Structures are given as structure tokens and as C-alpha cells.
Chain A
Amino acid sequence: MEKGQKPDRKLNRRDFIAGMAVTLAAAGAGAAALSPLIRAEEIPPLEDVLQKHYQRLTPEEKKAIFARLEKRILATHGVQATIRDPQPLENAHFAYALNIGRCIGCRKCVYACMKENNLSRDPQIQYIRVLKMKKQGHGIDLESAVHDYPQEEAGDKNYYYMPVQCQQCENPPCVKVCPVKATWREEDGIVVIDYNWCIGCRYCQAACPYHARRFNFAKPRVPGAELNPNMGYLSNRPRFMGVMEKCTFCLHRTRTGRYPACLEVCPTGARKFGDMSDPDSEIRRIVDKERVYVLKQDLGTVPRFYYVFAK
């Protein structure tokens, strides 16, 4: 062989070609492996990556972050948004009641929620799932539950309609499984997510017995014209690809004393929201006087979302 004859020769033609081939192949393979990154729909800016956990942010840092986010929203959506961070109300304990006897399954809450919380329109993300279940004597035929019944099948007297959303458990399994503590329960009972801290492992989605958490598989898309400019840092600011999100009882509204969007849009008044620690509130009256139950009580999650079985 030539190689054996002249060991000190610099570089022969064959080795050069072979080397080039290997280099090219490596480059090609490497590039192919990395290509998803280059085509990634969203790469977080460095500041976002370096940002601290929400609970460790000082007010000044928050201010800077909010200003940065607002600027970014103006650039991407052309909307001057205001990001606020309402803190839990003192001694408030939010709860929700939903009267199944009255719900007609019109699903307006679902879309009001999408609008209010800037949920991705494409791919569609919805926090509320409305189950349609056949009435069976005095009970419910759970086997017949469907959540994607067509529009024309709403308002059927032979069915119950049961909207399911985040139950804001007092003992939330999703919080327990989060490996990075990106989700936690606030003092007023709302379970929130720091979208910047979430690593998108989806453990919480698996842990939630109510299937209430949603994952951004793709970059969430919201038309700028429809963006709700009244944003809360922990609730409806634009999310990123690869993070979890879920219902927060519209905390940017409820913590400032307003009703959640799903309640306001409900044409039947099946939805009731309020502060459990206020003895005169609607919610307190319902929980005191009506037949209420919670979903999957046996799991010990202690939801703050009550279902009422009354007219």
C-alpha cells in the first residue's frame, strides 16, 4: 500500500477525499440533527432564559419584565397591552359553582375564555371542556359522555351538559409533581403557572385528574386584532411554545373584583363565582343551601369548583 510505503507523506489524495467525505457527512448529519432548532417557531430571548422564578422577583425586576413583555407584544401583535400583576386579595378564598341542571351546553364560555385569556386559535387551545351526558332516570350515564358533540346537539333536554375546567384544587396533584416548582397555589386558592419557569415536561398534565391543563405544542397564534390587552402576568399574557397553561379563574379580573369571563357570558346563569370567606356571597349561599358535589371527590384533591344539581 502507498500509505505503508511513505508514512511521512503529508496528505495523499485518497485520504483527502475520504476526510472531506467524512467531514461533509458529519456536517450534514449534525446539521440535520440541529435542523429542528433552526426551524423552531420560537426561541426565547436570552433575558427570558435568565429570568428568575416569579416568586423571587423584586418589584423593580417585575416592572422591567412587564415593560419588556409589553414592548414585545407591541412588536409581534401590534397591540399596546398592559401587563399587571394583581396580588391575591386578603382573606379571599375563591370558589366556583356550576349548576348542571341549568347548563345548556352552548359552549359560549369556552369561546369567551379563549378570547379573554388569549388562548391560541391555531392550534386551538381551550381551557373548558363541555361534556354531554345522557340523562338516565335521576342520574347520569357517564359512559355516554362526549366532549366534541356538534353544535346542533346542544340544548337537548335529554342530556346534561357539564363544563369541566381547572378545579383549583386545595391539594393539587399538578403542583406536587412539578419538578421545577413552576406551578404553585396562591393564597386565594388559585393554582398558577410561571410560564417562563415551566420546562414543558407535562408531568402536571399527566397528574391532573380533570384533564384541565393544556400544553402549547406549537407556537400559540392569536390574531393581533383579537388580543385582549388587559393582561395578567400569571394569567393571560401571551404564552410560549412548549409551556403548560390552564384556567386561572381569570385572576387578572377576579382579583380586581370582576367576574370571570366564562361567567359573564353564560346566558343561563349556571355559573357562579365568589369569595367563600364572605358569608353573603352567592357562592356561599349555594354551597350552604344547595346540593353540591365535586368531581372525583375520592381522589382527595379537594376542588374549589362545585357542581350544583338544582334547577
Chain B
Amino acid sequence: MNNSAAGSSGDKNWGLVLVVPACAVLFILFVVFTLATSDEPTVAQPLEPSWFTPTTARGEDLQNKVMVGSCYLCHAYWTGLPDPDVVRPQFAHSAIQLDHGANDRCYNCHLIQDRNKYTANDGSGIMHTNVEQLCARCHGLIYNDWVAGTHGVQRGQWMTPTAFERQNFKCTHCHDPHAPAFKFEKYTPPPVWPEQIERQRAEAPPPSEKTE
């Protein structure tokens, strides 16, 4: 009341003296702001390629197994009768740690006369390209699932005009035949949630408490 009276009457118009420059300053500030702030969009961080590239549990591992198919290098000259009860070979294959449950004999799987092949039920060989036939001997149900497409991954076309457009992975792409429990340790980081929904997290007990 007092102020407005002072503004509208009296010689010294203090109200206006303050308001006018204040408005002018605001206006200039605004103009400067809008002209000067060219918010250059911050360049988004690209994703780490390993987070989205498809891999199988043994993808790279398999490529290192150069020995597959070349067992003749040594075993062609094998003289002594191999011992069918070997669980842990001594020299050449000491890296192999058999961890396949009750299936703990090399020759359950590897053909005794021809190391390049795997044992079939009738004593004949299974080629490496059909390795799933080997697993099918003992894991029939899962093999059926695999054939139907419900165990393992398929990539490519789900609608298949020709089978060539679908990539189906063999058992050994995911399971190490010698230690078949599924291992895959390429994990990816948690999401960075936008601040708008941060509240939900604050309501939940902090993760540190939970782990303890």
C-alpha cells in the first residue's frame, strides 16, 4: 500500500527507478540467454559392442580346439591297446578335466578305433558334424527338444522357407562336452534410469543392505 502510493505520487518515484532497470536487466538477460545457449546435444555414449553381439557360451572356445579332426596326428601311430577305464589322461590331454557326472569314461564318447569319431550305440562312429547324435544317446529328451527348437538357440528366420536361413547351434556350442554344466560369464551393466523415476528406487531398500 505504502509502496504503490509512493509509486504513483510524490516527487521521487522510487518504485519506477527500481522496476524499470530491473525489467530492462531481465529482458536483456533473457535475450542474451536465448541467443547464447545453443545447447549442443551431448554426444551419446555408444554401447559396448560386446553387450549386444550374439555369442554362445563356447563360441571362441570352440575355435581354439584346433585338434578336432586331427587326432590322427598321434593316434594313428598308437600301438598299445588303450585302456577303456581312463578317467584322467596323463600326458597329452592333461588339460581335460572330465566333469560329466556319471559319464566319466573317455570311450563313452570317443570311438576307440578312430579318435576323430564319437561312439554310437551300435559301435559305429559319429562324425563331429553330427555331434548332437552323440549327446542324443544319453540325453534323448533334451535332444528331442533341441530338434523341435525349444532347447538351445536359433538365429535367423523363424519362418523358414528353407532350412538354410536358420542357424541352429549344436550342443557343443553351449556345453563343453567334458564339463557340460552351462557356463556363461559375459554380463552387462544395470540400466541408468532417468531421474524422473529415481524415486522408485529410493523407496526400495538400498541394494547394499540386501546383499548383507
**Which chain B residues border A286 with CB–CB below 8 Å?**
150
B133 CB, nearest partner CB in chain A, Å: 19
**Which chain A residues border B45 with CB–CB below 8 Å?**
121-122, 223
A264 touches B182 (CB 8 A): no
B26 touches A124 (CB 8 A): no
Segment touching B, from A45-53, A141-149, A184-192: A141-149
A111-B47, A282-B149 known; A155 vs B30 contact (CB < 8 Å): no
User: Interface code A269-301, partner B: CB below 8 Å = 1, 0 otherwise?
Assistant: 100111100000110011000100000000000
In this complex, the member of B13, B51, B53, B159 whose beta carbon has the largest number of chain A beta carbons within 10 angstroms is B159
Main secondary structure of the interface of A (DSSP, over half): mixed
Any A CB within 8 A of the CB of B184: yes
A32 touches B46 (CB 8 A): no
A273 touches B27 (CB 8 A): no
**Which chain B residues border A108 with CB–CB below 8 Å?**
51-52, 54, 186, 188
Cα distance A226–B51 when bound, in Å? 13
**Which chain B residues border A104 with CB–CB below 8 Å?**
182, 184
Any A CB within 8 A of the CB of B190: yes
A102 CB, nearest partner CB in chain B, Å: 8
Interface residues on A, range: 35 or more
**Which chain B residues border A124 with CB–CB below 8 Å?**
191-194
User: Interface code A235-247, partner B: CB below 8 Å = 1, 0 otherwise?
Assistant: 0000000000000
B44 touches A222 (CB 8 A): yes
**Which chain B residues border A261 with CB–CB below 8 Å?**
52
Contact of A144 (CB < 8 Å), options: B39, B182, B210? B210
Cα distance A129–B191 when bound, in Å? 8
Cα distance A123–B194 when bound, in Å? 6
Segment touching B, from A60-68, A80-88, A251-259: A251-259
30 contacts between A and B (CB under 8 A): A1-B9, A14-B16, A21-B19, A24-B20, A24-B24, A25-B19, A28-B27, A31-B34, A38-B34, A107-B51, A107-B188, A108-B54, A108-B188, A110-B188, A110-B191, A114-B47, A124-B194, A146-B207, A147-B190, A149-B190, A151-B188, A223-B44, A223-B45, A226-B46, A257-B160, A258-B158, A264-B153, A269-B151, A269-B174, A274-B158
The 8 closest A-B pairs by CB, nearest first: A257-B159, A111-B51, A121-B44, A221-B44, A24-B23, A282-B149, A122-B44, A154-B187
Additional A-B contact list (19), CB under 8 Å, known A223-B45, A273-B158: A20-B20, A31-B27, A31-B30, A39-B34, A41-B39, A41-B41, A104-B182, A106-B187, A108-B186, A114-B47, A122-B44, A123-B194, A124-B194, A153-B211, A257-B157, A257-B158, A267-B57, A269-B153, A282-B154
A interface residues, Cβ below 8 angstroms from B? 1, 14, 17-18, 20-21, 24-25, 27-28, 31-32, 35, 38-39, 41, 89, 104-108, 110-112, 114-116, 120-126, 129, 144, 146-155, 217-219, 221-223, 225-226, 254, 257-259, 261, 263-269, 272-275, 281-282, 285-286, 290
B interface residues, Cβ below 8 angstroms from A? 9, 13, 16, 19-20, 23-24, 26-27, 30-31, 33-34, 37, 39, 41-48, 51-57, 148-160, 169, 174, 182, 184-194, 196, 201, 204, 207, 210-211
